[in-house]
Structure 1
């Protein structure tokens, strides 16, 4: 089921793939950002600019179908910003000039963070990307007595229940196909966290002052931190304590208690499903994908503030989130590039003593 809504990849494959006239260049590492404000450098930063400027991604790489999204530096680090969404990503992977069979991918971006998990400015390595779009929904004003909310799994009969009747979704007959947990390589994520958890993070006086308002949420009052935790992607922009409760339950349920909700955003689920399809076609290695999200705001308001007064309040924390995402992610990408002969054939795994926050 997970590939049905992106069947357009087959058409793109036919349209964009052309015979290569020379051996394809092996791409080692790609960092992926979702959007940028204005220019890629020299103005107010978005998700891409810190990467472009600090990693000296000075060479533009025209790609058929995505002419202004890819850059690289002299060390072999590629960066791309998904100005047009998934088509940019697919166009790059299908460009016959490049070989992605051993490529490591780092998907980055800012997010809302659960105040029970981490403060604004924090950075989290994901072990799973959880899809928050594919669900059944009843208006919360109409839900049966005793339900916590009106969102529940397709194939289930109530919230916090895994699917037990796959035939409730068209022709799907396998409950496993209904899973909304998209697993990443846990060993690679643990290794990346182990390598980067001591990075010195930036802080901001405005954000520091705001932390005092989080009475009763001791973790939200801390300085920015590096941690491991899941990212929940949903196209709809949700906000508030009730939906944060749903997100915590949704992540816990789909990971069977092994994951925890930390970050929420609008695009992770889409791009991971695209990468799964590309991996199934043998174009990328699914085991070499990493997801690093940083917190620009909370997924709910602080005590005493209404949801409507706080929704969309990313502005004060955005620059801090951009900054810390690059600080943490660059440590891992530099390690991969500096020891490429080692990591080309052997995907790194964490030592058994990985610290857990």
Structure 2
């Protein structure tokens, strides 16, 4: 059956009218969902490990921060975070290093103006400081990537068998361009990360007079350090570099290497003070996240505190002091908190001052 154009037009109008009437009877569609506002995080404290629970039992590096700064709220739905992220009502966030990447990559958080305090306990060079002391790092030096020969098989004029990849002897920077990979020079190899010098100096000036608790046990241990005046001092605050290496090392020969290694990669500007197993990883992660625009590496602080010396006292066998962190471990946890918390509280209390101007730097000039 053929349908005239007039009939077809009338039918179309009837269908359109029915559709409009039906649409009017239904509730309107909701507007498109708007993305939730990102949370601007002001300050984060990062520890490396915790013994057991975050509170109420034997403390690790994290527990004093959780308990004393009331990090009572746990954000448990950060994808990939094994322990969860904590925060308090003042805007301080806390986490363990293993959850750092999950936190940074969570799209809910805006970390572009966030300040970071990386804390932790370390071995300390007794030539420079005592157990319980706290050092703000100007440099974090990587002690992992290197060449190693058995010290019994090295040339007679070598101090040890550890030297840079691309170099031909100890205490020399790489000279072989093939060892640089995509880097333009040895300075771009990721072996030394310089912290913001102005921010670090500001943190040190703010905390240099902090009194770190001393104990009779620590004082008794210090008596063994005859000929090491800095190791005999009560705990104190200083500026000094941290060397991170995944392999555990100990003893005077390797302390000598650490002193040289830090001088080498900082062109003589740094002084080895603290040794640990995590700082190089944290510095590398923050450097990479900075290049991707997630964080501002100029807002990063590293504070390490001494739980044990990097070598034994004079006349003591190194094997007798491997992992000997009692009573220094608890002292180092306490020093981490006592020295770090004034910086955190200052930044949070005066966020209007520090949101756009990093402490220690010249304030931005107002535009006309």
TM-score by length of 1: 0.89
User: Structure 1 runs of 4+ off > 6 angstroms?
Assistant: none
The whole-number CA distance in structure 2 between the counterparts of 1:239 and 1:67 is: 31
**1:38 aligned to which of 39, 49, 52:** 52
Q: Shift of the alpha carbon at 1:177?
A: 2.8
Contact 2:190 2:284 in 1 (8 A): no
Is it true that 1:338 corresponds to 2:349 in the alignment? yes
Q: Shift of the alpha carbon at 1:170?
A: 5.7
**1:68 aligned to which of 80, 83, 86:** 83
2:96 match:
81
Q: Shift of the alpha carbon at 1:203?
A: 1.2
Contact 1:166 1:172 in 2 (8 A): no
Distance 1:96 1:42, change over 3 A: same
The whole-number CA distance in structure 2 between the counterparts of 1:68 and 1:181 is: 30
Q: Which runs of 5+ in 1 are unaligned?
A: 1-18, 352-357
- The alignment of Structure 1 onto Structure 2 pairs a total of residues equal to 329
1:274 match:
285
Distance 1:341 1:173, change over 3 A: closer
The whole-number CA distance in structure 1 between the counterparts of 2:175 and 2:87 is: 47
Q: Give 3-state SS (helix, strand or coil) of 1:345's partner.
A: coil
1:132 match:
143
Distance 1:30 1:179, change over 3 A: closer
2:128 match:
117
Contact 2:45 2:94 in 1 (8 A): yes
Q: Give 3-state SS (helix, strand or coil) of 1:244's partner.
A: helix
What pairs up with 1:244-255 in 2 under 5 angstroms?
244-255=255-266
The whole-number CA distance in structure 1 between the counterparts of 2:182 and 2:284 is: 20
Q: Shift of the alpha carbon at 1:106?
A: 0.3
Contact 2:180 2:186 in 1 (8 A): no
Q: Give 3-state SS (helix, strand or coil) of 1:315's partner.
A: coil
Q: Give 3-state SS (helix, strand or coil) of 2:220's partner.
A: helix
Q: Give 3-state SS (helix, strand or coil) of 2:355's partner.
A: helix
1:27 match:
41
Q: Give 3-state SS (helix, strand or coil) of 1:231's partner.
A: strand
2:339 match:
328
What pairs up with 1:195-214 in 2 under 5 angstroms?
195-214=206-225
Distance 1:231 1:43, change over 3 A: same
What pairs up with 1:283-294 in 2 under 5 angstroms?
283-294=294-305
1:186 match:
197
Q: Give 3-state SS (helix, strand or coil) of 1:235's partner.
A: coil
What pairs up with 1:252-263 in 2 under 5 angstroms?
252-263=263-274
Q: Which runs of 5+ in 2 are unaligned?
A: 1-32, 363-368
Q: Give 3-state SS (helix, strand or coil) of 1:119's partner.
A: coil
1:105 match:
116
TM-score by length of 2: 0.87
The whole-number CA distance in structure 2 between the counterparts of 1:292 and 1:285 is: 18
The whole-number CA distance in structure 2 between the counterparts of 1:350 and 1:218 is: 35
What is the alpha-carbon root mean square deviation over aligned residues? 1.6
Distance 1:173 1:100, change over 3 A: closer
The whole-number CA distance in structure 2 between the counterparts of 1:67 and 1:112 is: 27
Is it true that 1:148 corresponds to 2:159 in the alignment? yes
